[in-house]
A and B are shown apart, each in its own frame.
Chain A
Amino acid sequence: MLEIKDLHATINGKEILKGINLTIKSGEVHAIMGPNGSGKSTLSNVLVGHPAYEVTKGSVTFDGKDLLAMSPEDRSHEGLFLSFQYPVEIPGVSMVNFMRAAVNEQRKYKGLPALTASEFLKLMRQKREIVELDSKLANRSVNEGFSGGEKKRNEIFQMAMLEPKLSILDETDSGLDIDALRIVAEGVNKLKTPETSCIVITHYQRLLDYIKPDIVHVLYKGRIVKTAGPELALELEEKGYDWIKKELGE
């Protein structure tokens, strides 16, 4: 589904990604861990096409298509979704209008007719239940005045609405209490199908107790330095990153 080859990227001229290679197949859940500043968020931002980052080398194909040649919105239409580490507040734009625009633009891209108002509201209702999102929140402006937990739930709600093929969860567990973490993780699991994949970026094993990864990678200084099964996450939780740095001869 996703194939990243020798990906290099810079921000403000500073190289953050220094040759990432990663292949994700349909139905797989990959966890990406690593110390602060290793390039985890940069990787997710580069994949969704954030304009502040510049790709200097390498390629990314998504379902056989050149992802890097697409606009951010087309990447979304193709089925790429990012759950933001810091969801953005948009005062004055209601959740309903925001989601209606998003859903209908995706449908237009796929050659489908726009949803009628009642079809759309029905869809909103159904998907809201997946993350137990209060109907009042849906009537408010996007993320405005939402608590940290509500914002993350809202991200997963949007994921449910857009039904992406590949979702990137960028520290979706940060700022969540245990109940919210469970609701969010259960939401992600409910949305999982054999055709969809997920990249989970996290610092902690805690989230991986709920969203079970097939493969765990360690990102360090802009490269993937270690890849193993789920047991790697447990090992990192216990020992930290020093042993990996040692293995690398640092």
Chain B
Amino acid sequence: MKAEQQYIDLFTQYEAMVCQHSAEVLNAPRAQAFAHFEQLGFPTRKLEKYKYTDVSKFFAPDYGLNLNRLAIPVNPYEVFKCDIPNMSTSLYFVVNDAFYTKEQPTGHLPEGVIFGSLKEMAEKNPEFVKNYYGKLADSSKDGVVAFNTMFAQDGVFMYVPKNVVIEKPIQLVNILRADVNFMVNRRIVIVMEDGAQAKLLVCDHAMDNVNFLSTQVIEVFVGENAVFDLYELEETHNSTVRFNYLFVNQEANSNVLLNGMTLHNGTTRNTTEVTLNGRGAEINLCGMAIADREEQVDNHTFIDHKVSDCTSNELFKYVLDDQAVGAFAGKVLVREGAQHTNSQQTNRNICATRDARMYTQPQLEIYADDVKCSHGATVGQLDENALFYMQQRGISLKEARLLLMFAFVNEVIDHIRMDALKERLHLLVEKRFRGELNKCQGCAICK
């Protein structure tokens, strides 16, 4: 319990301060989360779920925490230029865990829609937020979720009322900003009522040349017939550690697309759990990772087919260069009675060097007899015949490799249901493979 002890001490000593700068809804579950954390500790690699990421190693170093939530002087609109401009989105910023309120897009969101600070919403409307906060993220099951619940003080709350359709995608830019090694614990709650429709793009960036560790728990409630797209794009730097937990609950005939893209990072662990809770629900869960140097990307997914007639399509692709390490563990559970389940899982990976490593673990558990389920996983190299064919046509080996890698991940990009983002990503991915995208705006660490 070495790495844990400093946080147990920190919490014991500063619990009052943590609570003082947050809201009652977020404070209520802290004590229980603390008990769970004391009991669970950080997950170890002995746990099947964490076989590929040594969690406590990343929490052991000293990080600053902004528990009394001093305002960080930054105007994101001035200093930050996202790589996805001109997308005609409603653009919002979160600096560390604080929703940036000084300037905001006006008049973009339909009436009744809420998009803002979780703390503020929880103070204004505690009874409402209480119905959702912590309802999907169970702190008794995972040490990092418990940790996040102990320390999280703010984040984002999004609410789309019944049958309201938001045409314009919402873009949320998470900026990590600090002058010392720094930890951020952020929460996002998204409520899509029946028949609501929205698209949310979340971009993660690290601005400063320090070590960052972020934990983020996202809870998404998707009502009947609702349609929701969530794109997560990580473009941080080699000294960033990200632990992301995304829990989605879908009711009947809802349609959700999740696409997690890691373009640039240090160490990333994404846990995604989707519960299909109503008949006819459909989840499209995609992800891709482009990693080089010593970057690590670990995706852990779980899709729970609780009822009949649901569809899940899962596609994850990795391109690993240099000494990068990738892991994908995807479990699909088809429960008893979940007849006519249609489930497909695909994980394809390219290791471009001998030192790059990929671990893949598809898992299918089926307790119903009338279902259509498949899964497939491959790890390979670039097709040498194709490379030579291109060389014969005068394309240099380097360029030929780029074309093949680009083609490989395009399949994931093509699932995106936002044309502007799709186009932009084609360009970003190309830049990434060409080594031109080796830092995000404002940070110099990856030079």
Contact = CB atoms under 8 A, between A and B. Distances in A.
A51 B388 contact: yes
A92 B406 CA distance: 8
B396 interface: yes
Contacts of A51: 384, 388
B407 A106 contact: no
Interface of B: 383-386, 388-397, 399, 403-404, 406-408, 410-411
A89 B404 CA distance: 11
B391 A101 contact: no
A90 B388 contact: no
Given A90-B404, A90-B407, A102 B394 contact: yes
B407 A88 contact: no
A73 B404 contact: no
Nearest to B393: A102
A interface bracket (residues with beta carbon within 8 Å of B): 20 to 34
Contact of B394 (A90, A97, A106, A141): A106
A154 to B, nearest CB: 11
Nearest to A97: B403
A72 B399 contact: no
B310 to A, nearest CB: 29
Given A48-B392, A49-B391, 18 more contacts: A72-B388, A73-B397, A76-B394, A77-B394, A81-B392, A88-B383, A88-B385, A88-B388, A90-B390, A92-B406, A92-B411, A93-B403, A97-B403, A101-B390, A101-B395, A101-B403, A106-B394, A109-B394
The 3 closest A-B pairs by CB, nearest first: A92-B407, A76-B394, A72-B391
Interface in A52-95: 71-73, 75-77, 81-82, 84, 87-93
A75 B397 CA distance: 13
Contacts of A82: 392
A98 B388 CA distance: 13
Contacts of B392: 48, 72-73, 75-76, 81-82, 84
A229 to B, nearest CB: 31
A162 interface: yes
A50 B388 contact: yes
A213 to B, nearest CB: 23
B394 A105 contact: yes
Nearest to B414: A92
Contacts of A91: 407
A93 B399 contact: no
Nearest to B398: A73
Contacts of A106: 394
Contacts of A202: none
B348 to A, nearest CB: 11
Chain B CB within 10 Å — which of A71, A84, A88 has the most? A88
A82 B395 CA distance: 14
A76 B391 contact: yes
A98 B404 CA distance: 10
B393 A93 contact: no
Contacts of B397: 71, 73
A90 B393 contact: no
A158 interface: yes
A173 B383 CA distance: 26
Given A51-B388, A87-B389, A90-B386, A73 B407 contact: no
Contacts of B389: 84, 87-88, 90
15 contacts: A72-B392, A73-B395, A73-B396, A76-B391, A84-B389, A87-B389, A88-B383, A88-B389, A89-B386, A98-B395, A99-B393, A102-B390, A102-B393, A105-B395, A141-B407
Contacts of B393: 76, 98-99, 102, 158, 162
Contacts of B404: 90, 92-93
Contacts of B407: 90-93, 141
A99 B392 CA distance: 12
A46 B383 CA distance: 20
Which of B385, B393, B397, B408 has its CB near the most chain A CB atoms (within 10 A)? B393
Contact of B396 (A92, A105, A141, A158): A105
A73 B391 CA distance: 5
B386 A71 contact: no
Contacts of A97: 403
Contacts of A81: 392
A87 B390 CA distance: 11
